Amino acid sequence: MTIMTTRRPKAALADPARRILEHHAAALLQHTAEQTFPLAAAVMRRDAAHYTCPDRFVLEKQRVFSRVPLVLAASCEVPGPGDYKTLDVAGIPILLVRDRRGAVHALLNSCTHRGAALASGCGAAARFTCPYHGWTFAQDGALIGIASAADFGAVEKAALAMKRFPVAERAGLVWAILDPASPHDPADLLGGIDDLIAGFGLESWTHVATRTLHGPNWKLAFDAHLEFYHVPVLHRETFGPDRSNRAFYFAQGPHQRVIAPQARPGPASPDDLYALGHVPGADDPMDPLLMGEWILFPGVSINTFYPNGQRAVLLSVVMPGAEVGASTTTQTFLAEAAPDDATRAMMDDLGAFLAHVVGDEDLPTSAFQQKALGTGMMGDVYFGRNEGGLQHFHGWLDRLIAAAEADLPALLGASCLPR
């Protein structure tokens, strides 16, 4: 087996982060050489109602999705001044926009007069005008104009700015805390995961395509990203029955990466550490250090592909819907460089294939799980010793629901790397 040695500019990667990635690589190679495989200490059980209980869902929205940094977009989705994107997270409408100075703002997509939406979809705008009464807002959310102001009456414009969420742009991703009153800087709660994925260099990548799939409870939709146990069974027609059902797990606070214990079938890709055969050094491509599926808590995964030899990633973002039994999976395809026509066609085909895997295989299975769990007859669900990613994820979910606000910096920042 050979590995491609295409050289590409190395993205910035701090020494502490590189040492952690090198440790992961060394552990993978050692397990491969010794033919060993780590398992969790015991089988984990959780109440099946965690997937169906409306009260539990309210807790998750209040104590997780309103308190921890969420990935709302890749930076290249809003690359220039005025570029914006709208989205909905657990019933909260959000307007993400880059201002003239290059700063990104996460705003409540709501006019402060009477709540009408100020934007939809994505695009570019110098300002945002309410389609209901004509109030106008700047790119940073400031109220700059009231239609027929003299007739309307005196108000304090500064107090009527759009609601702003704390936001940070790190490692080519836009993170926000969906609580305007949060005292925390999202960057302080990332636990070093931004340093570990900095090697992708996503800041300079190109947005290729985005599609959104609808599914059941957000945890059921996301569980499939956290283990490979199901791959040769559920995906036997798409990936083949010979794919390994095992995975290695490496944790970084609530985040983790999931790595198969063997190379993908076919020619080796540039991120194939097993084909490289040693921990990448300074003169080696960085790609093998970033191998695997990166899981950014609570609902994001990053997978790498090489259509036509060009590096691309699928950024999958699973968000809860407005109700306990609904979620969205947004698949955003990014390319390291603007693709030519042939590469773009291959990326489109790959994107359609991945949408099929999730939309026609994973999510229908999860929808039936939702139905069965909703009967109340299941009692518990089980996460096996070989499903360490699920155990890690659900353990952290419980931990954060129980945590006090004042404990979040220590809890989420405890694994921060030195900067």
Structure tokens at 100: 């003239």
Cβ 59 vs Cβ 99: under 8 Å: no
pLDDT at 115: 97
**Residue/partner pairs of 16-23 with CB below 8 Å, 24 or more apart:** 16/192, 16/195, 16/417, 16/418, 17/192, 17/195, 17/196, 17/198, 17/199, 17/417, 18/199, 18/289, 20/192, 20/196, 20/252, 20/417, 21/196, 21/199, 21/289, 21/290, 22/279, 22/280, 22/289
Cis peptide preceding 298, ω within 30 of 0: yes
3-state secondary structure of 318: strand
Average pLDDT over residues 109-129: 98
Kindly report, residue by residue over 341-360, the tens digit of the pLDDT: 999 999 999 999 999 999 99
pTM for this prediction: 0.94
Rg, the chain, Cα only: 22
- Tell how many helices (H) and how many strands (E) occur in the chain: 11, 20
pLDDT at 15: 87
Cβ 293 vs Cβ 259: under 8 Å: yes
- The most distant pair of C-alpha atoms in the chain lies apart, rounded to whole Å, by 79
CATH class of 78-182: mainly beta
pLDDT at 282: 87
Q: Where are the domains of the chain?
A: 15-62+190-413, 78-182
pLDDT score of 415 more than 80: no
Q: Which architecture characterizes domain 15-62+190-413 according to CATH? A: Alpha-Beta Complex (3.90)
Average pLDDT over residues 148-166: 97
pLDDT score of 1 more than 90: no
pLDDT tier, 5 (very low <50, low <70, confident <90, very high otherwise): very low
pLDDT score of 263 more than 80: no
Element (H, E) at 82: none
pLDDT score of 53 more than 70: yes
Mean pLDDT of the chain: 93
User: Judging by DSSP bridges, how do beta strands 83-89 and 122-124 pair with one another?
Assistant: antiparallel
